[in-house]
Amino acid sequence: MSASIEVTAPAKLNLSLRVLGRREDGFHSIDSLMVSLPGLHDRLRFQGAAEDVFTCNAAGVPADQSNLVIRALTVFRRETRMTTPLAIHLEKNVPHGAGLGGGSSDAAATLRALDRIHGTSLSHERLCRIAAEIGSDIPFFLGAPVARVGGRGERVEEAPALPRMSILLLKPSFGVSTPEAYKHWKDSEELPGIPYEPQCFEWGELVNDLERPVFQKHLFLAEMKKWLLEQRGVRGALMSGSGSTMFAVLRGVEDASWIIESAHRELDPKLWAWAGEVGG
């Protein structure tokens, strides 16, 4: 391989996330409606090299098996016996520990790129089996942009297209540990004055069972949700995945700029923000 190829890895939102219980394998069964955010994505570049090299524009990103890109490379090679050395560069735009699936999407994009590079033409089913071994959310990123996800995340069923919606994402500087969120799900309690009930839309509900344990540990996220729901132009607000990103469904994308300005002024001047559209 001489020429380089580039692929993108979109973020995702959990529009709904129900936790159904703990499984015998230690994971939790879920029922979630997920949608990809093509306007917010990482970018990966692959090029032939004398030896394997991994680089990233973001500081602190590991280059070992804790990195899902490296893990995807390792598992793909084990499955296919393709061992061509590669230089991989990851351009991170999706924040880490955000509940937006950045690492999982990077892994899925890596599997697709490796399949293309080596001409292995793996079936969708086989790619999904490999993906499920690497991480729970990864199979979603190999399928349709809107899907109902079950099991521990390995069961993915295409869902009806969503109407076009304007979305605002806000994330504080800290992240949230997904294993910790699930660990405390069963014994967590609701905080008084914080809305947890499902928010109804024409396509379904905004609801997230992980808000309960996460809000108990990170009160600021609970206050962010409450604050978002009080803003003019906001139709609904929810935590995505295990957090720490909070998102709002807006009446129109034109409302995003002033809400971001208000959030920086009233909540935290260092909040990361992104606005765009999904569906349609």
> Where do the domains of the chain lie, and which CATH numbers do they carry?
5-158 (3.30.230.10), 165-278 (3.30.70.890)
Q: Which of 106, 115, 137, 255 is catalytic?
A: 137
- Alpha carbon distance 29, 214 (integer Å): 18
Are 177 and 263 a contacting pair, CB within 8 Å? no
pLDDT bracket for residue 2 (50, 70, 90):
low
Are 107 and 128 a contacting pair, CB within 8 Å? no
pLDDT digit string, tens, across residues 21-63: 988 888 899 999 999 999 999 999 999 999 999 999 998 888 8
- Alpha carbon distance 36, 156 (integer Å): 13
Would residue 171 show up in a list of annotated catalytic residues for this protein? no
Q: Which of 12, 92, 171, 225 is catalytic?
A: 12
CA distances from 220 to 41, 173, 239 (A): 26, 11, 12
What number of CA atoms fall less than 13 Å from residue 40's CA on the CB side? 23
Query: Cα 89–94–141 angle (5° rounding)?
Result: 85
pTM: 0.95
Characterize the bridge pairing of strands 146-150 and 53-56.
Answer: unpaired
Residues near 125 by Cβ (< 8 Å), separated by ≥ 6? none
pLDDT digit string, tens, across residues 222-270: 999 999 999 999 999 999 999 999 999 999 989 999 999 999 999 999 9
Would residue 137 show up in a list of annotated catalytic residues for this protein? yes
- Alpha carbon distance 58, 49 (integer Å): 22
